Amino acid sequence: MRYESLAIEGPRLVFPKTYRDHRGYFFEAFKQGWFRENIADVSFVQDNQSLSHQVGTIRGLHYQAPPFGQGKLIRCLRGSIFDVAVDIRPDSSTFGKWVSANLTAAGGEQLWIPEGFAHGFCTLEPDTEVFYKVTNVYSQTHDKGVAFDDPVISINWPIPLNSAVLSDKDRLQPPLSSLR
């Protein structure tokens, strides 16, 4: 297993060591000791999974407010996504800046997003399934969001914004400016 840093301090792209043979493949998807030593000294308390039927489904940008902030370790079980993390730490020199990575079931790539970032993704294939570990439990009252199409953030989503498949909630998320 290895990792790469991204343009913003914090998020990391993790690559499993994949063993392939005539039957298929095997890889260790997560190892607590390696993760603590190389990525972040955190514990995961909840696993989430979602299925999105249509290409161009955008979920996000979401985060949980303190004290229910969540770190997230995201990967694709089926299909692929354009995954995005937006720095929303009020005192950060990269506030409002974003990083992205394409996560694919075929490649097994994982994106680590620490607390202090909003997370969102756009599906790139039909029936894409996303699995992610989180470092805090769900709290509906602390579940917050930022507009995926905020021009101040200006994410280069891989689809025309007016074609995005969205939840009613994500059509109405507030702008980044509401966080300051």
Ligand X SMILES: Cc1cn([C@H]2C[C@H](O)[C@@H](COP(=O)(O)OP(=O)(O)O[C@H]3O[C@H](C)C(=O)[C@H](O)[C@H]3O)O2)c(=O)[nH]c1=O
Q: Kindly list the catalytic residues.
A: 62, 132
Smallest separation, CB 37 to ligand X (Å) = 25
**Contact status: 75 vs ligand X (CB under 6 A):** no
What totals of helices (H) and strands (E) does the chain contain, helices first? 2, 13
Rounded distance, CA 127 to CA 70, Å? 26
User: In the set 3, 38, 50, 96, which binds ligand X (CB under 6 A)?
Assistant: 50
135 near ligand X, judged by CB under 6 A: no
Among 6, 115, 120, 164, binds ligand X (CB under 6 A): 120
How buried is 97 (Cβ within 10 angstroms: 0-12 exposed, 13-18 middle, 19+ buried)? middle
- Considering the rule CB under 6 A, would residue 121 count as an interface residue with ligand X? yes
What does residue 25 show for φ and ψ, rounded to 5 degrees? -145, 165
Show the tokens assigned to 156.
Answer: 């280069």
| CA–CA distance, 43 with 122 (Å, rounded to integer) | 27
Q: Does 133 bind ligand X (CB under 6 A)?
A: no
Q: From the CB of 116, what's the least distance to ligand X, in Å?
A: 13
Distance (Å, rounded) from C-alpha 55 to C-alpha 36? 34
Q: Is 62 a residue that touches ligand X (CB under 6 A)?
A: yes
* Strand bridging mode 98-104 / 24-26: unpaired
- At its nearest, how many Å lie between ligand X and the CB of residue 123? 11
48 lines the binding site for ligand X (CB under 6 A): yes
Residue 98 in the binding site for ligand X (CB under 6 A): no
Residue nearest ligand X, Cβ-based: 138
Binding site for ligand X (CB under 6 A): 48, 50, 59-60, 62, 72, 119-121, 138, 167
